[in-house]
């Protein structure tokens, strides 16, 4: 049986992921264009990155645009594309100074050459051996698509005899997923909806999932700190009897 100190000891929080939802509703409730909601949302990212470093979190994985978000109006998509370029231009210097390692994952090619080259530049400039934080941005990402791509790769590797089917294991999945993190400890979704909307399906197997009502542009450092302290009090059992 676990001792009292084992039961009460706080959880280490290494890998956080956030579904930053509610930009559209925030804009609507403030009588603004949806693009203004996305713009305000980018500002919140800056604060949460800062606090993640303060909290010694190892990685922060943010859902910025899903595979399914391509179904939105062209006007909204082009404002998001402009915002991606602007966010990188505005924040790259600070990220370098903060020793943040920046990575993007998902179907980035679909965003076009100018975004692809901007992302490559940002990733190269923030490459660092011992980062203060790994900041991963999901763009054009879908968990189901990622799993399907892994299956296709495994089938091709098996057919070409690069691997034996019996050697397929968890490491193969992790190494061939486009997601930079192996597993998530805490998944936060803002905006009030209680669903994961095709984010990190494999990596959230044992994540604590916290749904909060605030729209992403209203998310604050204080709320983030509260969720982190809630996480630290949770009993994580991983299926075991403790």
Active site residues: 21, 69
Q: Which residue number, 24 or 143, has a Cβ lying nearer to ligand IPE? A: 24
Residues 6+ apart with CB under 8 A from 15: 57, 58, 59, 61, 181, 182, 183, 184, 185, 186
Give yes or no for a contact between 104 and 137, defined as CB atoms under 8 angstroms apart. yes
CA angle 96, 185, 97 (to 5 degrees): 10
Q: Does 21 bind Mg ion (CB under 5 A)?
A: yes
Alpha helices in the chain (DSSP H): 4-8, 23-29, 34-54, 74-97, 113-125, 143-159, 170-176, 221-233
| Partner that binds at residue 65, options Mg ion, ligand IPE, none, CB closer than 5 to 8 Å by kind | ligand IPE
Shortest spacing between CB 21 and Mg ion, in angstroms:
4
Region of 19-27, 32-40, 68-76, 124-132 interacting with Mg ion (CB under 5 A): 19-27
Q: Which residue number, 71 or 239, has a Cβ lying nearer to Mg ion? A: 71
Q: Which residue number, 34 or 100, has a Cβ lying nearer to ligand IPE? A: 34
Q: Does 34 bind Mg ion (CB under 5 A)?
A: no
Q: Which residue number, 112 or 151, has a Cβ lying nearer to ligand IPE? A: 112
| Cα–Cα distance, 88 to 220 (Å, whole number) | 21
Query: Which H/E stretch holds residue 136?
Result: strand 133-141
What is the distance, to the nearest Å, from the Cα of residue 173 to the centroid of all Cα atoms in its chain? 18
| Partner that binds at residue 63, options Mg ion, ligand IPE, none, CB closer than 5 to 8 Å by kind | ligand IPE
Shortest spacing between CB 68 and ligand IPE, in angstroms:
6
Crossing angle (nearest 10°) for helices 74-97 and 34-54: 20
Q: Does 64 bind ligand IPE (CB under 6 A)?
A: yes
Residues within the interface to Mg ion (CB under 5 A): 21
Residues within the interface to ligand IPE (CB under 6 A): 19-25, 63-66, 69, 80, 191, 193, 195, 197
């Amino acid at each position: 049986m676990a001792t009292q100190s084992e039961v009460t000891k706080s959880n280490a929080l290494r890998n956080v992921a956030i579904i930053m939802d509610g930009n559209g509703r925030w804009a609507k409730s403030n009588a603004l264009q949806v693009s203004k909601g996305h713009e305000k949302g980018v500002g919140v990212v800056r604060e949460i990155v800062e606090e993640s470093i303060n909290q010694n979190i190892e990685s922060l994985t943010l859902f910025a645009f899903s595979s399914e978000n391509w179904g939105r109006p062209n006007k909204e998509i082009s404002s998001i594309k402009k915002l991606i370029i602007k966010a990188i231009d505005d924040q790259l210097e600070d990220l370098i100074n903060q020793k943040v390692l920046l990575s993007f994952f998902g179907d980035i090619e679909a965003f076009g050459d100018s975004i692809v080259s901007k992302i490559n530049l940002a990733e190269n400039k923030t490459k660092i051996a011992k980062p203060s934080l790994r900041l991963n941005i999901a763009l054009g990402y879908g968990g189901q698509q990622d799993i399907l791509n892994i299956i296709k790769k495994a089938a091709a590797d098996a057919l070409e005899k690069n691997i034996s089917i019996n050697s397929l294991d968890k490491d193969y999945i992790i190494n061939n997923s486009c997601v930079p993190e192996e597993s998530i400890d805490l998944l936060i979704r803002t905006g009030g909806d209680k669903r994961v909307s095709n984010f990190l399906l494999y990596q959230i197997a044992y994540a604590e999932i916290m749904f909060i009502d605030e729209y992403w542009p209203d998310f604050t450092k204080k709320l983030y700190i509260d969720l982190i302290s809630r996480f630290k009090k949770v009993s994580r059992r991983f299926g075991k009897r403790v």
